[in-house]
Amino acid sequence: MVLPFGLLMLTALLVSLAVARQAPSEPIPGRADIITIDGLRAFGPLERPPVVFFHGKHTEALAKAQKDCLACHPQGEKYLSLKYNRTADTDKQAVMDVYHDGCIGCHADYRSQNQPSGPVTCGECHVAEKAVNNIRAGIGLDKSLHYRHVKAAEQKCERCHHAYNPETKQLYYDKGKEGACLYCHKDQTQENRIAYRQAAHLDCVGCHRELSLQKKTAGPMECAGCHDPEAQALIAKVADIPRLERNQPDVTLVKAHREDEKVDAQKPRMALVPFDHLKHEGATQYCRTCHHAELTSCASCHPIQGHADGKMVKLSQAMHEQDAQMSCVGCHTQKQLRAECAGCHASMPAEKVWAGEAACKVCHMPQEAPVARPGYEMLASEMAASLIDARRQIPPPVAVEDIPETVIIDHLVDAYEAVKMPHRQIVQKLSDLMRDDALAAAFHTQPTTFCQGCHHNSPASLKPPQCGSCHGRTSDAMNLTRPGLMAAYHEQCMLCHEKMGIEKPANRDCTACHAKRAETARNN
């Protein structure tokens, strides 16, 4: 364990020499067009390392020579084959020969014409470790991009959307059942479904190419056009996107059962949850953010008891799982990370936020549902609408004169003078930030709810207790989880400022909050 000192020194010297000898390496330029050619994996273990191939480099070089995709990709059934110089993988030797003859042959041609060219020996392509900086970012059709395609395809959904008929083994268009490509096309090819990546490149790039051959406006055909983060940022956004039509409700009651389950409608066990679907459509870029497997109600896969279709995830988990992006609570928890929320919420334990009865009641409306007109069963949508209206009855804010204007913090005056905290200003600033936020309005049920951001661990009220009611002058030996008064103030103010991105006053600029006290005053 303990090396002799001399050996240690020698090691240190060698290490320092080695470090010193390394010239500072140039950063590797990022590429979005890196493809790993390892097609032979299908025929067993590879004999040589797979080839790291820059697709964009080749399209550029070929474009200069007035060649297009056909130079490498033969025509397939509908669009060009995604494979290099072949439409199918027959056997190992054949596939290997295609690459070796094609790549080396082409490189040799370019070489003989004294043009920039690629490698021709084995070791130059089959490199075990190649330093590359892959910046490829995935791309999806968000609402804006989807709408641009809808417009270009003149509402012909069948241009992209299809379903598979196992009897005829044909793709067909199933109107009204459109969904995200990812619902069927997964990471890996499964039976009759090609992998998502193949499906996207086959159809997207294929269609883009056809349109460009017809001299029409078309999307990108080279890798970077879709997958370079900088290029993605340049994709035009449609300002006012018309709503996607897929028979979805504007408002609904959250279902708790599958379609085929018998439900005793007379006995709902839980307060009803009205759901404003329209509002949530506006808050997300993709239907699949919530509808992650298919465009049906959550309960069709996640009923109360769970179901194999939904991997036995129960409704309560699907709705409340804090770490899941597509659960209600998970997504709302993410929203609390926004700067205007994080000031208070960063120091609030998540379970405390979500465990209170008040939080449950925000969604689970009490059973005082509006009484249905006699002889008339209220539709779920009508019931939901009226409940949502009831939910939107926001109590009036606290009157300005009820908010203390300035709070003097002088319990601990010693090295520094008292702090004059602009209390009302802070409250009003926070109110302004939340004014137009429906989520904040819904969950901050009382006008005094957000006072509890600072006045925590006490009931919401117009006259909450002062910090000193709980935080002693020094740290509490009996309760080490509760800071003393000075730490409580500093932590509360500083953490909030940090999370809200407020740079001034800086944490270590003591006099920005409290003036330094004269020595003479201190000793009295």
- When the beta carbons of 11 and 90 are compared against other proteins, the nearer one is 11
Q: Which of 490, 512, 515, 522 is close enough to bind other proteins by CB under 8 A?
A: 490
Between CA 158 and CA 366 the distance in angstroms is: 44
Token representation of residue 505:
């006053």
Say which residues have a Cβ less than 8 Å from residue 471's Cβ, sequence separation at least 6: 482, 483, 484, 485, 487, 488
Residue 278 within binding range of other proteins, rule CB under 8 A: no
Nearer to other proteins, 279 or 490 (CB): 490
Among 289, 484, 502, 517, binds other proteins (CB under 8 A): 484
Smaller CB separation from other proteins, 347 or 381? 347
Residue 510 in contact with other proteins, rule: CB under 8 A: yes
The yes or no reply on residue 7 touching other proteins (CB under 8 A) is no
170 is a contact residue toward other proteins (CB under 8 A):
no
Of positions 239, 368, 508, 519, contacts other proteins by CB under 8 A: 508
Residue 483 found at the interface with other proteins (CB under 8 A): yes
Contact status: 486 vs other proteins (CB under 8 A): yes
C-alpha span between 177 and 142 (Å, rounded): 18
| DSSP output for 97-137 | HHHIIIIIHHHHHHHHTT------SHHHHS-SS---EE---
Candidate ranges 233-241, 297-305, 421-429, 486-494; the one touching other proteins (CB under 8 A) = 486-494
Distance between CA 437 and CA 432 in Å, rounded? 10
Answer for which of 7, 65, 234, 477 binds other proteins (CB under 8 A) is 477
With a CB cutoff of 8 Å and minimum separation 6, the contacts of 213 are none
Reading the block at residue 133, the tokens are: 């900086």
HSE-up of 29 (CA within 13 Å, CB side)? 4
Least separation in angstroms between residue 398's CB and other proteins is 29
Note whether 249 and 60 are within 8 A (CB). no
Strand partners, 134: 31
Q: List the beta bridge partners of residue 54.
A: 34
Minimal distance, residue 351 CB to other proteins, in Å:
8
Stretch that binds other proteins, among 216-224, 305-313, 380-388, 507-515 (CB under 8 A): 507-515
Give me the DSSP letters along 321-357: -TT-TTSHHHHHHHHTTSHHHHHHHTTS-HHHHHHSH
For residue 491, the minimal CB distance to other proteins (Å) is: 6
Residue closer to other proteins by CB (options 227, 332) is 332
Residue whose CB is less far from other proteins, 129 or 323: 323
Q: Is 474 in the site for other proteins (CB under 8 A)?
A: yes
The site map against other proteins for 325-354 (x = CB under 8 A) is: ---------------------x--x-x---
Considering the rule CB under 8 A, would residue 135 count as an interface residue with other proteins? no
Instruction: Measure the CA–CA gap between 443 and 246, rounded to whole angstroms.
Output: 30
C-beta of 342 vs 385, nearer to other proteins:
342
DSSP notation for 384-423: HHHHHHHHT-PPPPPPGGGS-S-EEE-TT-SSBPPEEE-H
Q: Per CB under 8 A, does 239 bind other proteins?
A: no
In the complex with other proteins, the residue whose CB is nearer, 263 or 487, is 487
With H, G, I as helix, E, B as strand and everything else as coil, classify residue 138: coil
420 phi, psi to nearest 5 deg: -100, 100
Taking the complex as a whole, the smallest distance from the CB of residue 134 to other proteins amounts, in Å, to 19
Tokens found for residue 136:
């490829």
The DSSP call for residue 154 is: T
Q: Which stretch binds other proteins (CB under 8 A): 123-131, 310-318, 357-365, 473-481?
A: 473-481
Q: Does the footprint of other proteins cover residue 406 (CB under 8 A)?
A: no
Task: Find residue 30's DSSP bridge partners.
Answer: 133
Of 40 and 485, the one with the shorter C-beta distance to other proteins is 485
**Candidate residues 16, 165, 188, 507; the one interacting with other proteins per rule CB under 8 A:** 507
- 8-state DSSP, 75: B
480 lies in the site for other proteins, by CB under 8 A:
yes
Interaction of residue 25 with other proteins, rule CB under 8 A: no
Name the residue among 196, 203, 207, 201 with its Cα closest to residue 223.
201
One-letter amino acid at 79 equals Y
How many whole angstroms separate alpha carbon 162 and alpha carbon 134? Answer: 32
CB 127 within 8 A of CB 52: yes
CB of 95 to other proteins, least distance (A): 44
Give residues with Cβ within 8 angstroms of 379, minimum separation 6: none
User: Which range touches other proteins (CB under 8 A), out of 251-259, 324-332, 445-453, 476-484?
Assistant: 476-484
SS3 assignment, position 35: strand
Among 25, 214, 247, 481, binds other proteins (CB under 8 A): 481
Q: How many helices (H) and strands (E) does the chain have?
A: 21, 10
Between 148 and 332, CB nearer to other proteins: 332
Total of residues contacting other proteins (CB under 8 A)? 22
Query: Between 255 and 345, whose beta carbon lies closer to other proteins?
Result: 345
- Find the shortest distance in angstroms from Cβ 341 to other proteins: 14
For other proteins, the closer of residues 369 and 494 by Cβ is 494
Cα separation of 298 and 315, whole Å? 8
Q: Which is nearer to other proteins, 305 or 507 (CB)?
A: 507
Which residues form the interface with other proteins (CB under 8 A)?
1-2, 5, 346, 349, 351, 474-475, 477, 480-481, 483-484, 486-487, 490-491, 494, 498, 507-508, 510
